[in-house]
């Protein structure tokens, strides 16, 4: 059970704050609510007071309210501060470090983890000012969940919908996680590799790196030392993670082996190119008159297999993308590669897998009993499930 301080700001999604309070209290958390002046226009403090079982505050200077619990006491009381919905205005105020109402003042004063659940019109979200403000908050370690895509209350369709209260509850509880991985050094590879064909052309694949970055973020939140070896991707480095950027499979292999000694867990989410050009061409390949061009490829090293052979006490996890006989192929791969777990996804489905935020995976162990399915969830949830499983393996 934890103390959750919920800050509600003035958007239509404020009505969902009621459900959020109910879910949090039902799960045994103590919830106190603070509201911006705008939020009070959308839902009454009485509703949130009734649901949370505590008086709701909305003003910074209110003699009656301050006599109960001051804004600093409120900031100190919280284990987690959740801002849901977080409007563009609230996000901008936080990015500026303003303290011009109760919610912003408490956010400035608190040392608790802060989670924002943005909700706004798609154009407001995409505005460079909002994007810059969100990036500023992220740099400062503020956690963010959503927003989702969908129909917006303003009539537009697009990104900007606040994520569902259940998703906010899960994200809030993740922030409360104890540092269960404090003893582990987790080495993660992520993204594609890029194999040069000539100075301007490359052989690569569509891996976005999202899964590996989500795992790195989650492992760091659970107290692990995290080393993230990333192929060419455009994703921000999760807080508290040491990142090493590489391009080719060979570079990835060197980086992995440089860090391997020190690691206790290795997770290979990277989509390593299986082949690279046999000859590195120093000059750009010219368009010749011939209609066909042959490029000879040679096999890249299988990093996962090499690591597994040398793993000792380490736990090694591989990933697999399959289009048919998903489970049988994955179990086969587990044996062939010699790793402890294989996380497999069915890439024949368009809605999951590469470059999307959601995924559905099966965590395959050596036997059927050691195999678990994780239903369609965000990559953040999947990362949590994979780490839960790794923790189990580490304990046995």
Question: Any idea which residues carry the catalytic annotation?
Answer: 154
Tell me which residue of 226, 112, 117 sits closest to 176, measured CA to CA: 112
SS3 at position 236? coil
Tell me which residue of 95, 90, 103, 107 sits closest to 13, measured CA to CA: 90
* Binding-site member from 163, 168, 303, 390 for ligand C5P (CB under 6 A): 303
**Cα 192 to Cα 209: distance, rounded to the nearest angstrom:** 7
CB of 301 or CB of 366, closer to ligand C5P: 301
CB 247, min distance to ligand C5P, A: 14
Handedness of CA 284, 286, 287, 293 (dihedral sign): negative
**Cα 231 to Cα 154: distance, rounded to the nearest angstrom:** 39
211 binds ligand C5P (CB under 6 A): no
249 binds ligand C5P (CB under 6 A): yes
Query: How many C-beta neighbours within 10 Å does residue 46 have?
Result: 9
116 binds ligand C5P (CB under 6 A): no
- The footprint of ligand C5P on residues 179-198 (CB under 6 A) is 189
259 binds ligand C5P (CB under 6 A): no
DSSP secondary structure letter of residue 186: E
* Binding-site member from 71, 217, 319, 364 for ligand C5P (CB under 6 A): 319
CB 302, min distance to ligand C5P, A: 5
CB 269, min distance to ligand C5P, A: 6
* Binding-site member from 43, 112, 246, 270 for ligand C5P (CB under 6 A): 270
CB 255, min distance to ligand C5P, A: 12
- Count how many residues are written for the chain: 396
* Binding-site member from 66, 259, 274, 357 for ligand C5P (CB under 6 A): 274
* Structural contact between residues 101 and 40, judged by C-beta atoms closer than 8 angstroms: no
Six token digits for residue 356: 């999307």
CA-to-CA dists, residue 47 to 50, 51, 380, angstroms: 5, 6, 32
CB of 79 or CB of 274, closer to ligand C5P: 274
Which residues lie closer than 8 Å to 107 by C-beta, 6 or more apart? 7, 75, 81, 83, 94, 114
318 binds ligand C5P (CB under 6 A): yes
CB 350, min distance to ligand C5P, A: 20
**Cα 264 to Cα 219: distance, rounded to the nearest angstrom:** 13
229 binds ligand C5P (CB under 6 A): no
Query: Which x/- pattern, by CB under 6 A, does the window 51-90 give for ligand C5P?
Result: ----------------------------------------
106 binds ligand C5P (CB under 6 A): no
Which residues sit at the interface with ligand C5P, rule CB under 6 A? 189, 249, 268, 270, 272, 274, 300-304, 318-320
């Amino acid at each position: 059970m934890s103390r959750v301080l919920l800050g509600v700001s003035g958007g239509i999604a404020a009505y969902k704050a009621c459900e959020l309070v109910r879910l949090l209290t039902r799960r045994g958390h103590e919830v106190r609510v603070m509201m911006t002046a705008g939020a009070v226009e959308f839902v009454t403090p009485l509703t949130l007071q009734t649901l949370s079982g505590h008086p709701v505050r909305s003003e910074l200077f209110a003699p009656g309210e301050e006599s109960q619990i001051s804004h600093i006491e409120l900031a100190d009381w919280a284990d987690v501060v959740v801002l849901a919905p977080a409007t563009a205005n609230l996000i901008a105020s936080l990015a500026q470090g303003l303290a011009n109402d109760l919610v912003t003042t408490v956010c400035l004063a608190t040392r608790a983890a802060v989670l924002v659940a943005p909700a706004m019109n798609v154009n407001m979200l995409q505005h460079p000012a909002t994007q810059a403000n969100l990036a500023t908050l992220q740099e400062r370690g503020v956690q963010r969940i959503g927003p989702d895509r969908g129909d917006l209350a303003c009539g537009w369709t697009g990104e900007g919908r606040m994520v569902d209260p259940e998703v906010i509850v899960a994200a809030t509880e993740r922030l409360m996680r104890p540092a269960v991985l404090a003893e582990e050094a987790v080495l993660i590879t992520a993204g594609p590799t890029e194999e040069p064909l000539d100075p301007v052309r490359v052989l690569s694949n569509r891996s976005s790196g999202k899964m590996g970055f989500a795992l790195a973020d989650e492992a760091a939140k659970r107290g692990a030392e995290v080393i993230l070896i990333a192929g060419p991707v455009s994703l921000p480095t999760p807080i508290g993670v040491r990142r090493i950027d590489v391009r080719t499979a060979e570079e990835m292999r060197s980086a992995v082996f440089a860090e391997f000694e020190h690691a206790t867990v290795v997770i290979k989410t990277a989509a390593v190119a299986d082949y690279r050009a046999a000859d590195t061409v120093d000059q750009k390949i010219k368009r010749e008159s011939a209609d066909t061009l042959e490029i000879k490829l040679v096999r890249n090293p299988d990093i996962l297999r090499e690591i597994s052979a040398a793993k000792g006490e380490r736990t090694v996890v591989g990933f697999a993308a399959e289009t048919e006989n998903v489970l049988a192929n994955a179990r086969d791969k587990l044996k062939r590669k010699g790793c402890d777990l294989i996380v497999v996804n069915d890439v024949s489905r368009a809605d999951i897998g590469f470059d999307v935020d959601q995924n559905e995976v099966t965590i395959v162990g050596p036997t059927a009993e050691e195999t678990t399915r994780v239903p369609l969830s965000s990559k953040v949830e999947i990362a949590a499930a994979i780490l839960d499983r790794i923790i189990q393996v580490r304990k046995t």
